[in-house]
Structure 1
Amino acid sequence: MAIGKESPVPMILDTDTFNEIDDQFALVYALCSPEHWRVAGVTAAPFLNARSDSAGDGMRKSHDEILRILELMGCRGRIPACAGSTRFMEGKRRAVESHAAGFIAEAARRANARGEVLHICAIAALTNVASALLIDPEIRRMIRIIWLGGHRYDMGRNDEFNLRQDVAAAQTVFDSGCELWHLPCLGVVQALRIGREELDRELDGGDRASEYLRSIFHEFLDRRELKDKVLWDISTIASLTVPEAFRFRMLSAPLLHDDMRWELTSGRHRIRVAEHVDRDPVFTDLFRRLRRNAELCGGRHVQNF
């Protein structure tokens, strides 16, 4: 399938929503892009950092945050929000069963029965996605995974949050043979940086979702005494809404070692890897959609999907 030619496509957003603030922007962005994305569900991924006491606690907080965003967007109860894994994988072939993993497998089969490919925008550790592949290996040919994680292959470091949280899950996905679009963080997606003034100027819809995004953005910067922030996770949504902003190349899937080191290969299944993201078209599209949503809904919530 050609980039940007299928619209709208069925999609699941797999997200550690409470981990930081990027995921909230990505979820609202997806819901404001109904001509490109048909959101079939949102799955909560585990995470462990200063905002959670355990991987399971992080997943539960993410699930609560998903519900909060769906409420702000006026679609709670209409779009499924599924609880995910309460722990990370303990090995490449050891699935973690969860509502989210089962939901992903079922959604893939439903899409396949309609002649569609289920897109999974994964903006977290790949625990839920890898577990779905292990539980139901046949869905490998029914899905396209768009994953934000790790860093550019030629960089000396690769200790990135989404990757290091569950290396076994990332290894499982990269070894699975499924269609994979990889969006590396440092060296590629880090271009999506935005500061306070630009965000306040552009995020002016006055609706509840926009106000919430503005508030968590400012709170995040204030707490860390920062002037700007990379909105990493919106890259997965923009890969279809603004395909012209991305430059991809096809590569043999790299091997991912236990120490998070990439090893370039030849002869393995080919994946699509982003080499460059043009920030301005992405942010122009994001804020245009948020303003349109506010105008359509009189500052309340999105109406149509």
Structure 2
Amino acid sequence: MTDDTTTPHGAGAEGTPPAPDTPLVELRGAGKSYGNVRALHGVDLTVDAGRVTCVLGDNGAGKSTLIKIVSGLHRHTEGEFLVDGRPVRFATPRDALARGIATVYQDLATVPLMPVWRNFFLGSELTKGPWPLRRLDIARMKRTADRELRDMGIVLDDLEQPVGTLSGGQRQSVAIARAVHFGARVLILDEPTAALGVRQSGVVLKYIAAARDRGLGVVFITHNPHHAYMVGDHFSVLRLGTLELSADRGDVGLEELTDHMAGGAELAALKHELAQVRGVDARELPEEADLTAPWRRPRKAAPDPAPPSGGT
């Protein structure tokens, strides 16, 4: 990792702790280019402790590139990337982990046939005994995994069951608890509800809120504004690699957030173009607000009740 000085977690310049209001992670005008292709440009992002920052965008908006920069997989080519107020340039994801930045990807990096407790400590197994006779400390790993899962509100009947037998929401929850246990201060969740049903999505959202309540800074990557609005404290909407919207929860409503996600202006332009196509009656197309937020469409008035037959 390229850095000004080597400091412990949470230390600022010259080894001094950062100010209390210093963001855990901050991007200032950050961008990433692959040769002549600019994938991300001029993005500002702030991640504070005890807050959920939601990054929304459609496919190709730049969410994956943003994740790769913050998680240390790729280096930014423009702007600044700061951790605890200090500029950094991570060389590998291990550098990001060393600074308390953990990423939970959609594939969860689990081994389906291994028990839950083995997956919890995968790559960081506890051992006991003298070298060269050291062996896995299975009992301690089971106790630790069970305690950490329960602290997150996750109660599993059998830690010996293969993790592949858990539901999607449970597997996401195990991955979140694992990241918290191994010292994550910033937790990046890559589309954790994308392949889940309504109930399992609710389970994951509950544990996202639990991670926030434990003081972590959470980056929730999603294309679902409804899920984001349930737990989010700040919303950043990406479109074609640039920042479309950056607003706190109190400054934006769900409908406006959905409008930015759907691209209201682009849909209005599409309506104008369709009006030039033969056989398309533009008058029958919904207005801009209707395109961006279908629930805004006025309901048809109920017909007046028919008068009673033969009545007075």
Q: Same fold (TM over 0.5)?
A: no
Question: Considering only CA atoms, is the larger Rg found in Structure 1 or Structure 2?
Answer: 2
* Structure-2-length-normalised TM-score: 0.28
The answer to which structure has the higher helix fraction is: 1
* Structure-1-length-normalised TM-score: 0.28
